[in-house]
Amino acid sequence: MEDSDVQGHIEELIAEEHRLRDIHEGEHEALSHAEKERLDALEIDLDRYWDLLRQRRSIRETGGNPDDAALRDPNTVEGYKG
């Protein structure tokens, strides 16, 4: 996987996130339960893929192989926020 692949996936996730948020913009109807769950999942996936991209860049900058970077589990990545 290349950085551009990771970045492309991030852009797809962001586009989906924006579509979900824009569905009800200007309306009085809130997101459905399923839409809220999907939005939460998207935010976690975005955090994971941004983390992967940062890992790849860091490994490359220190002379390593960026392919050694791995997508971390949600609990690990979300634990960084605390």
Give mean pLDDT in consecutive 10-residue pieces for the chain, a chain of 82 residues.
95 95 78 92 96 96 97 86 54
54, 6, 17, 40 alpha-carbon torsion, rounded to 10°: -60
Q: Give the H/E segment covering residue 39.
A: helix 33-61
Please tell me what DSSP assigns to residue 36: H
Q: Give the span between the Cα atoms of 65 and 28, in whole angstroms.
A: 50
User: Tell me, what's the pLDDT at 54?
Assistant: 96
Q: Give the span between the Cα atoms of 53 and 4, in whole angstroms.
A: 9
For the chain, how many structural domains are there in total?
1
29: domain range?
Answer: 3-79
